[in-house]
Amino acid sequence: MAEAVLVALGKIGNVLADEATKGLLAKLSEKVSNLIDLDDKIEGIAKQLNTMKNVIQQIGTPYLADKVVKGWIGEVRKLAYHVEDVMDKYSYHSLHVEKGFLKKCLKGSHYVRVFSQIADEVVKIEKEIKQVIELKEQWLQPSQLVHDPHTEMERQRSQDSFPELVKDEDLIGIEDNRRMMTEWLYSDEMETTVITVSGMGGLGKTTLVTNVYEREKVNFQTSAWMVVSQTYTLDALLRKLLEKVTEQPSSPNIDRMDVHDLKEEIKRKLKDRKCLIVLDDVWNKEVYSQMRDAFQNSHASRIIITTRNNHVAAVAHLTRRIDLKPLGNAHAFELFCRRVFYIKKDHEYECPSHLMKTARSIVDRCQGLPLAILSIGGVLSSRPQTQYSWEQICNQLSTELSKNDHLRAVLNLSYHDLSGDLRNCLLYCSLFPEDYPMSRESLVRLWVAEGFVCSKGNSTPEEVAEGNLTELIYRNMLEVKETDELGRVSTCTMHDIVRDLVLCVASEEQFVCANDYATLIHMNKDVRRLSSCGWKGNTALKIKLPRLRTLVSVGAISSMPAMPFSVSSESSYLTVLELQDSEITEVPAWIGTLFNLRYIGLRRTKVRSLPDSVEKLSNLQTLDIKQTNIETLPRGIAKIKNLRHLLADRYADEKQTEFRYFVGIQAPKELPNIEGLQTLETIQANKDLAEQLERMVQLRTLWIDNISSAECANIFAALSNMPLLSSLLLAGRDENEALCFESLQPMSTHLHKLIIRGKWAKGTLDCPIFRSHGENLKYLALSWCHLWEDEDPLGMLAPHLPNLTYLRLNNMRSANILVLSADSFPHLKSLTLKHMHNVDELNIIDGALPCIEGLYVVSLSKLDKVPQGIECLSSLKKLWLLGLPGGFKAQWDLNGMQQKMVHVQEVRV
């Protein structure tokens, strides 16, 4: 749709905001007449693009299947891409306009020629705009448009057609939720209570609520089922509700009522009545708040809301929300068999043994999504039950599911409900392989590099992008895999079925190409984003992609190590180069010619050095060379003024047994010249570092390695004055270098993550970082920080760090007995005790760790007793007791601990 236009408009905005270029154009226009009104023409292009964006949004999703509409939108997309290319060229040459450089460049003809070419391109764009407008006026009249049958099919439900009744025996895997919801209907609350059922499309929200509603509505004096859907008006919704609660068809009197009168009439009808009302398929959280007045007079009524949006789900109290999840393997397979096989055996639907392996592969591919299971099951139920026939379906499963009208209609609604910037962000996720754990930090940096987001108010682009990620998760388009110490998503994944839809849309909109090489060679040269994840073969790639903006080659196989650079060598507009886990060994010097490059990802590759030409990458925002073999950075790195995230360290010991198992880089002295640097991982300390840090006031994340006791006071004092610091790692020169933390008194209240590796001076736990700043810390990892024999780190830290959610103690000497008192760490979710060789007893007093989910006790060579009170940790989900003395397991079994810990999902002893 209009996603490409948004990016182009952002690029135009950047160009028009550049004051330095205006001075250059004023001088150049004295020699070249077509430059006089260049900015005015660009501004006119922006207005036209913005209007086209609005027209596309006004056309709406019901008409997107219309071939004429799709063709016209395709022309708008090509126009936007052309604008983006020209604006990038404009921005690149504008960057060279600096003090003292203007006069020099005017002596020659280079800039006259360059900006004349840009002006000529702008004229071409104006002609293209005229053609696009003429096409619309000629072919896009409302009477000529055809509805999208997929979208319209699902929208018909908004006409209050009641869902098909689902039998109890067909409710697979949601029986517990049905039972819980029924209990809520008859709870003791006398006031109106809201119950919400949320989850991605196709999980069975309506199926569950339909079953409960049909069973229980007879016990309520009034009941009503309302389908809200995406398009609704409040007065129409209230009229429909009034008709249902009065059980009478619409009358002229009702049609004449306004919203206030409708609410008053509903209140009168429901007065002192016990009601059960379902609002199905709610997309806007305002729906209930706009309607709630109408339920004020009802007695012990229950409002059930189904939604795909967690913002909507939040209108109910936490104790009255059901968040549906995909079915587990057993339930998914049972549902599949019920759909496919009609012959029961012992009251079960049995899968023939010769089809079992293929059937399980098909079910696994559906990832527990009931609608997908039922859809593909419907296809297979009419096919011959032969292994050949089923394997054909299995190999073409993505195509089969994408052709299913109902499934595509359900998922399309979720996609089209997104704003343009959210669609761009979601489509981008299809560049990564199936089930790939996408890092929050990487996604945020990639989206910023692509220009999908910009700063809003006081928020940085990264903060806006993080908000977009949260919104996609709240809308159940992405799934949280792991969270961090602040409760933010750490990694996320995309459901395979959603990914299939997104890939289909991305391909139709020429947003992404994620096919294999054999498919690529038949595509046109206008491919803009390419994913080569999982490509096979070792054929030399000779294809040229001059319009390529993004290349993602995560985990490229060893037989094609040179593939990324052979593809991108002719791609002068390249913006993102993400080669994480690839087999590449070197970066070519010509990379410095890629003026548009904003993101380089080389994490865990075999690259040993960067060419000096990277200093020419003036637009570069992110350079990720973590866990490569790169030891030093080119001196010219400090010339990259726009660099925001520099991630660079390497493993010295991949087994992580040595004190300095990872080593930071030696940064050039000029590094503080990069004033916008937000992330710096990891830098080696030196005598000048404290002075350098004083100028790096934008840093949020900072990791420092190789700190000496002589330097630490000055370095820590400099760190204390950083206003935005949020994540900090401090590592000593070696395990015997004692660091004094008295000078570390952070002014930043954002500092929530602290990692310390190295020996402490005596009394460190009494320093301000723990005593005064302790309430701000959420994540604390301490390694090699040896204490005195009478010091219990758990007992000493607990009173001053009440908000910790993560604590890791590794390779520490301390007291023999560790005690967690009754009020210890009320918010802690993860506790790791590792290589604490003198600890022989761990006592957990009742009331300690009330929120703990993971307890990892590893390689405590003297701990031969079962931790006292461990069975009282009712919230525990994972328990590891590994590498302990031989007698520990015998004590565990003797005390019957396996039975006492039956509530813990994962126990390893």
Any domain includes 222: yes
Q: Tokens 């420092």 label which residue?
A: 704
My answer on whether 173 and 316 are in the same domain is yes
As given in the structure block, the two tokens for residue 726 are 């949020």
My answer on whether 185 and 213 are in the same domain is yes
My answer on whether 135 and 219 are in the same domain is no
Domain span including residue 243: 160-323
My answer on whether 392 and 445 are in the same domain is no
500 or 577, greater pLDDT: 577
The span from the CA of 506 to the CA of 258, in Å, is: 44
Q: Tokens 């930090």 label which residue?
A: 441
Percent of the chain with pLDDT over 90: 40
The span from the CA of 648 to the CA of 469, in Å, is: 25
Q: Give percent helix, percent strand, percent coil of the chain, each to the nearest 5.
A: 45, 15, 40
My answer on whether 303 and 381 are in the same domain is no
Give the domain-ending residue among 92, 124, 151: 151
Tell me, what's the pLDDT at 97? 53
Rg of the Cα atoms in the chain:
31
Residue 713 vs residues 696, 699, 744: alpha-carbon distances, Å? 18, 19, 8
CA nearest neighbour of 907 among 883, 873, 881, 884: 881
My answer on whether 318 and 339 are in the same domain is no
Inter-residue long-range contacts of 243-252, CB under 8 Å, 24+ positions, other chains counted:
245/269, 245/270, 245/275
Any domain includes 742: no
Any domain includes 338: yes
The span from the CA of 563 to the CA of 808, in Å, is: 41
Taking residues 92-99, report their average pLDDT: 62
Exposed / middle / buried, residue 104 (Cβ in 10 Å: 0-12, 13-18, 19+): exposed
Residue range 1-28, pLDDT digits in tens: 567 888 888 888 888 877 766 777 777 7
Q: Could you give phi then psi for residue 701, rounded to 5 degrees?
A: -120, 130
The span from the CA of 311 to the CA of 259, in Å, is: 25
Alpha carbon 502 to its chain centroid, in Å, reads: 15
Residue 820 vs residues 376, 799, 846: alpha-carbon distances, Å? 53, 11, 9
Any domain includes 777: no
Residue range 710-763, pLDDT digits in tens: 999 999 999 999 999 999 999 999 988 889 999 999 999 999 999 999 988 888
Contact between residue 46 and residue 119 where contact means Cβ atoms under 8 Å apart: no
List the CATH number of the domain containing 498.
1.10.10
Tell me, what's the pLDDT at 169? 57
Q: Could you give phi then psi for residue 355, rounded to 5 degrees?
A: -105, -5
Residue 590: CB atoms within 10 A of its CB come to 12
Any domain includes 95: yes
My answer on whether 167 and 206 are in the same domain is yes
**Residues paired with residue 578 on neighbouring β-strands, in sequence order:** 552, 601
Q: Could you give phi then psi for residue 322, rounded to 5 degrees?
A: -115, 120
Element (H, E) at 208: helix 205-216
Residue range 245-272, pLDDT digits in tens: 887 666 667 777 888 888 888 888 888 8
> Residue 149 above 60 pLDDT?
no
SS (H, E, C) 381-436: HCCCCCHHHHHHHHHCHHHHHHHCHHHHHHHHHHHHCCCHHHHHHHHHHCCCCCCC
My answer on whether 171 and 317 are in the same domain is yes
List the CATH number of the domain containing 173.
3.40.50.300
Any domain includes 654: no
SS (H, E, C) 471-485: HHHHCCCCEEEEECC
Give the domain-ending residue among 91, 116, 151: 151
CA nearest neighbour of 135 among 79, 80, 68, 60: 68
My answer on whether 79 and 214 are in the same domain is no
Angle between helix 234-246 and 259-270 (nearest 10): 30
List the CATH number of the domain containing 877.
3.80.10
Helix (H, G, I), strand (E, B) or coil at 871: helix
Tell me, what's the pLDDT at 163? 46
List the CATH number of the domain containing 358.
1.10.8
My answer on whether 313 and 174 are in the same domain is yes
Contact between residue 197 and residue 208 where contact means Cβ atoms under 8 Å apart: yes
Taking residues 343-364, report their average pLDDT: 78
Full-model pTM: 0.86
Any domain includes 583: no
Q: Tokens 């004033």 label which residue?
A: 675
402 or 325, greater pLDDT: 325
Q: Which residues contact 497 (CB under 8 A, 6 or more apart)?
A: 202, 366, 367, 369, 372, 401, 407, 411
Residue 883 vs residues 833, 868, 886: alpha-carbon distances, Å? 12, 18, 9
Percent of the chain with pLDDT over 70: 87
- Exposure class string for 427-462: b at 16+ Cβ within 10 A, else e: bbbbbbeeebebbbbbbbbbbbbbbbbeeeeeebbb
**Residues paired with residue 858 on neighbouring β-strands, in sequence order:** 834, 882
My answer on whether 91 and 21 are in the same domain is yes
DSSP-derived secondary structure letter, 170: G
Length of the chain: 909
> Residue 475 above 60 pLDDT?
yes
Count Cα atoms within 13 angstroms, Cβ side, for 55. 18
The span from the CA of 675 to the CA of 699, in Å, is: 9
Helix (H, G, I), strand (E, B) or coil at 705: strand
My answer on whether 351 and 487 are in the same domain is no
568 or 185, greater pLDDT: 185
Residue range 281-320, pLDDT digits in tens: 898 888 998 988 888 777 888 999 999 999 999 999 999 9
Exposed / middle / buried, residue 890 (Cβ in 10 Å: 0-12, 13-18, 19+): exposed
Residue range 420-458, pLDDT digits in tens: 889 999 999 988 888 889 999 999 999 999 999 888 888
Any domain includes 679: no
Give the domain-ending residue among 109, 133, 151: 151
Structural domain tally of the chain? 5
Cis peptide before 682 (omega within 30 of 0): yes
Residue range 501-550, pLDDT digits in tens: 888 888 877 787 765 555 565 555 678 888 877 665 554 456 677 888 89
Taking residues 379-387, report their average pLDDT: 83
